[in-house]
Amino acid sequence: MKKFTKVLMAITVIASPAFAKPPGQKTFCDEYPLAPTCKSGQTVCATCHTSPPALNLFGTQVSQKLAPGGARPLTDEAYASALPEALRAVDSLDADGDGISNGDEIRAGSDPANAQSKPSDAPCTASPGAAWNLCGYDAAYTYRKVLLDFCGRSANYEERQAFAKSNAPKELIHETLEACLKSEFWQGRNGAVWNLASPKIRPIQSIKAGQDAGPVPLADYYRDYALFVYATTGDRDARDLLRAQYSIVASKTVPTTYSKLGLSFEQDLQENDNAAELAQPERRAGMISSSWFRVINTMFTAVPRTTAAQAYRAYLGLDIALLQGLQPGASAEPIDYDNKGVRASGCISCHQTLDPLSYPFSRYEGIDQDEKSFQTAETFGSYRKDRMARFVVSDGPNIVNVPEEGVLFGKPVKNLVEWAAVASDTDEFAQKTVLDFWHLLFGVDPKPSETEQFTKLWKRFRNENGYQIEKMLSDLVDTEAYGAP
């Protein structure tokens, strides 16, 4: 069995006794339907886990009451059946020792595993002499934060004085936000939004091509960064992160500007060599089909599971290694076209989702192992309908049967372009995109008591705001989560 499969298997086997099983989040919410953490119908991992599979204090209590004496690991069915009783058994207990029962905390939206988190339904008492309103949204506090978060500087003395005298503080906050969203700090090269893309792009300078090339230049990632900033600023539709069939380039001068590449596909290949985007424009799917994304994730593999897993993680917020987003597909999957042993009992539950998720990526070259084609810029990293044929020697004859069609969230997709179109229209995409900016501004996940505000944000982002990040941010700075000290 190949190393990759062994690693996945090991993760699954080690984790299975303690992991949040797929039905857990929904079953929890069936038991606590009115809890703030259950606004979307499923609670968050943090309800029971610190960092999955590790359990927090509350999760530990639940675990102790979960089918005691029963054989481990529990099946999904046994787990779902035993969980309600376990939750009821610990409802009146106090996992974090803060004097408030688990059930009361869950129903009130505070964290039963954190002694510092308590229900906030007690009336807030004003603090004489406090600099801000500590009982809710404070405009002066918000103004100060907007300048720091989006402009990268504090409001100076004169600005704070002027704000204090303003008759329209909210309007001033939004004017400030609008100006700061154009700042170099926010949208410039290596600015706040640019850096937000790094975990998705995962750059490595030593193999960078083009500007600032490394010693082994394989592909360029500056265009990936540029597309990310372009799609998430201005009045652009953030779904272009997965849908763009154009290239964006960032200026080399300050202030940074972003523009569509003014070269044809052929001109780009000719002028920029392997710093060019090598997939044909009609085969592109934004960030997940870029030359860099394929080089760094697909590399030499026939079935690009790592590529698909990174796309699923980075743009839909679902990490298969953490058993997130598992969607059992057709019963025949995974087929194991490449003889990696993915049908082994410890592997199959993840690969049922991962393998059909990966097939649409399979026609896009990573790092070409064929010396002849390696020397030909046109075939390096580009889309090739017959790509699987050259893996027969390394992966066996069945590899040629890998379909280009795949499955995403239970829906068949014909190719990567369709994969990206379906993905970018999901709740998961909206949630993950908004959550990335939430993390940037807050540094942490939404608290249970903020679930309602967060849900409203991503739903408006999908609907009223037309997937425009800047409109979403305008909503965000008006929330109590952001504006209450």
Partner 1 sequence: VRPNIMQITLFTQFAALVLASSVLPGCSKKEAAPAPPSVSTATSKNNRLKFKGGERLVADLATGLSLEPSELCKELGLYDCKTAANISLGGVEPYLQTIYTPVGERTASTANAAERIALSACHLRMERDFAPAAEAALFAELAAPAPDLAKALAVSKRLYQKLLNRDASPEEVSHLTAFWKELSAEKEPAKAFATYACFAVATTEEALFF
Q: Give least dist CB 475 to partner 1, A.
A: 17
| Residue 146: its H or E element | helix 139-146
How far, in Å, CA of 434 to CA of 437, rounded?
Answer: 5
- Whole-Å CA distances, 62 to 76, 136, 439, 443: 16, 34, 28, 28
Residues that bind partner 1 (CB under 8 A): 116, 120, 124, 127, 130-132, 134-136, 144-145, 148, 152-157, 159-160, 185, 195, 198-199, 201-205, 208, 212, 442-444, 480-481, 484-485
Return the number of the residue (144 or 239) whose C-beta is nearest partner 1. Answer: 144
Q: Six-digit token pair at 200? A: 């998705």
Q: Give least dist CB 52 to partner 1, A.
A: 18
Q: Give least dist CB 159 to partner 1, A.
A: 8
Q: Give least dist CB 190 to partner 1, A.
A: 9
Q: Give least dist CB 140 to partner 1, A.
A: 10
Q: Are 172 and 143 in contact (CB under 8 A)?
A: yes
Return the number of the residue (155 or 434) whose C-beta is nearest partner 1. Answer: 155
| Residue 248: its H or E element | strand 248-250
Q: Give least dist CB 131 to partner 1, A.
A: 5
Angle at 40 between CA 323 and CA 116, to 5 degrees: 80
Return the number of the residue (32 or 132) whose C-beta is nearest partner 1. Answer: 132
Q: Six-digit token pair at 296? A: 């760094």
Return the number of the residue (156 or 259) whose C-beta is nearest partner 1. Answer: 156
- Whole-Å CA distances, 330 to 170, 353, 413: 52, 9, 13
Q: Give least dist CB 152 to partner 1, A.
A: 5
- Checking phi first, is residue 127 left (phi over 0); if not, alpha (psi -120 to 50) or beta? beta
Closest CA to 200 of 91, 328, 315, 338: 315
Classify residue 433 by its DSSP letter.
H
Return the number of the residue (136 or 397) whose C-beta is nearest partner 1. Answer: 136
Closest CA to 310 of 366, 226, 244, 249: 366
Question: Does the bond joining 255 to the residue before it have cis omega, within 30 degrees of 0?
Answer: yes
Return the number of the residue (162 or 392) whose C-beta is nearest partner 1. Answer: 162
Return the number of the residue (205 or 280) whose C-beta is nearest partner 1. Answer: 205
Return the number of the residue (237 or 319) whose C-beta is nearest partner 1. Answer: 319
Is residue 420 helix, strand or coil? Answer: helix
Q: Give least dist CB 75 to partner 1, A.
A: 36
How far, in Å, CA of 187 to CA of 241, rounded?
Answer: 16
